Amino acid sequence: MPKRLLRTKSLSLLQDETAHAKHGFNRTLSATNLTTLGIGAIIGAGIFVLTGQAAAQYAGPAIVISFIISGLACAFAGLCYAEFASLIPVSGSAYTYAYATLGEFLAWIIGWDLILEYLFAASTVSVGWSGYVVSFLNDFGLHIPPQLTAATNSILVNIPNVGWKAFTGELTTELAAKGVAVGALPHVTALVNVPAVFIIALMTLLLVLGIKGSARFNNVMVAVKLTVIVMFIALGFAFVSAHNWAPFIPKNTGEFGHFGWSGIFRGAGVVFFAYIGFDAVSTAAQETKNPARGMPIGILGSLSICTILYILVAIVLTGLVSYTALNVPDPIAVGVNAMGAKMFWLRPIIKIAAIAGLSSVILVMLMGQPRIFFAMANDGLLPPVFAKVHPKFKTPYLGQILTGILACILSGMLPISTLGELVSIGTLLAFVIVCVSVLVLRKTKPDLARPFKTPFMPIVPILGVAFCLSQMIALPGNTWARLIVWMLIGFVIYFSYGIHRSKANYRALHKN
């Protein structure tokens, strides 16, 4: 049994399967397309929501340091991803890399783990997209019934001069401080989050119809949000007050993770969600014209651009308004308010950018998941239906449709807090395994022709593991408990199905 679990898939076999696939993908993506796909996946809820909330709850103005820590962790992991993506230019991302180096069982673990990143992240972001769309429509007098804008069975309370908000413990405390009894306010029970389901369905349809059209749509969305973010940074610097940056590192409250240096690291673990997505570039390797060149450019280029923008936005936002006022769903809009009434024209533009930004994140996350399923099905670890490629559109359409259906269910029925809890820790685990895999492959196959090499070996992958593990440790204990439960479910599926139908084990048996 242990030998079967550790059996690897040879690089020559991976490359041969790609070259001789009967119904392969269309190779239409350039390095520029890959870079915009990466930016499209990264810039979304993180910059429009998490920046302010993490500053208010954990790090204060030092959220800038949190972004640098998370950015470094991603940079180390990104360099390792770039080596693998150029060396093994096939769909599957970290799953495929682990299969080639660490063995089938660890590959299954990472493949199962990646569902937390792609499928759950797409659902999480779609709930955020719903909130921004509802707010934007309300500005123009168009109101969607509140029962159709939140997770199933959520309680929504209508607060005067604020509008409908989900009922939570924090909301109860906030209203009690104002002397308002929640029971005295109008409230309804939500049925389903219709806008979230709508955007998932729309993006799924676009992805089924072809990767080239999806890339063009993403390019437009990326252009919109980058333009507005740069506008916010440029205009905001003129209104910054250094007073809001003092103290830069607020004193710890006595509880781990609430300000001080522990708060900076807790903030880094939370805002890590803002970086999730650059690795989705690697799932499009089989649809790239020149993956040996394009993959490193797409991964590292998108990561570099987004890190710089995140740091600048954090500096401007915490300089415009005190971090204590940023624990809101739309902190960027709060920053615009602080610029004065003359800048209110920027508010609807910020919302449009947020909607565009979140749309592209959903698109790329939904693109990544079926390609992970495709690689796992080709190896026999999942049913063959996931390996079906549409004869005309050249996309993994059945896996794409199933991913869309699952994402619709999750986004329509579950609140954003429940969906988002597992995403960061699942992605950090994936990054740890990729960094370890690079070290293993350098040791076991040092003479491979590598189009791109991770520099400063073995320092970069070791630092990648260290940074990612430190952020995992800083996350709350219940997040770890949920990760363990999720992995146990994956073990049951692997040992009841995957191990018995694995093509690697089949080949080994017949070879012997």
Which residue, among 343, 355, 247, 312, has the nearest Cα to 51 in the 3D structure?
Answer: 312
Residue whose pair of structure tokens reads 């390792």 in the numeric block: 80
Give the CATH architecture of domain 24-154+190-474: Up-down Bundle (1.20)
Tokens for 295, please give them: 């993959």
Range list of H helices, 290-345: 291-320, 331-338
Strand order in the sheet with 187-189: 163-166, 155-159, 187-189
Q: Running DSSP on this structure, what letter comes out for residue 239?
A: G
- Flag whether pLDDT at 359 surpasses 50: yes
Q: Are 221 and 36 in contact (CB under 8 A)?
A: no
Residue 318, pLDDT score: 93
Condensed to tens digits (0 to 9), the pLDDT of residues 332-346 reads 878 888 888 888 888
- Flag whether pLDDT at 509 surpasses 50: no
Tokens for 227, please give them: 């333009």
Which residue, among 336, 346, 314, 358, has the nearest Cα to 41 in the 3D structure?
Answer: 358
Residue 401, pLDDT score: 93
363-374 average pLDDT score: 85
Q: Which residue has the higher pLDDT, 135 or 71?
A: 71
Beta carbons within 10 angstroms of residue 58's beta carbon: 27
User: With bands split at pLDDT 50, 70 and 90, how would you rate the model's confidence at 270?
Assistant: confident
Q: Running DSSP on this structure, what letter comes out for residue 48?
A: I
Cβ-Cβ contacts under 8 Å for 252 (sequence gap 6 or more): 258, 259, 260, 261, 262, 263
How far is 393 from 391, CA to CA, in rounded Å? Answer: 6
Rg of the chain, C-alpha, whole Å: 23
How far is 44 from 421, CA to CA, in rounded Å? Answer: 17
Say what the alpha-carbon torsion angle 339, 224, 50, 333 is, to the nearest 10 degrees.
30
Average per-residue pLDDT in the chain? 82
Residue 329, pLDDT score: 61
Condensed to tens digits (0 to 9), the pLDDT of residues 275-285 reads 877 777 777 77
Condensed to tens digits (0 to 9), the pLDDT of residues 419-474 reads 666 777 888 888 888 899 899 888 888 888 788 889 999 999 999 999 888 878 87
Tokens for 373, please give them: 């399923």
Among 83-97, 139-153, 316-330, 352-366, where is mean pLDDT lowest? 83-97
Question: What are the extents of the domains in the chain?
Answer: 24-154+190-474
465-500 burial: b if 16+ Cβ within 10 Å, else e: bebbbebbebbeeebeebbeebbeebeeebeeebbe
How far is 303 from 76, CA to CA, in rounded Å? Answer: 11
User: With bands split at pLDDT 50, 70 and 90, how would you rate the model's confidence at 92?
Assistant: low
Q: How remote is the C-alpha of 374 from its chain's centroid?
A: 20
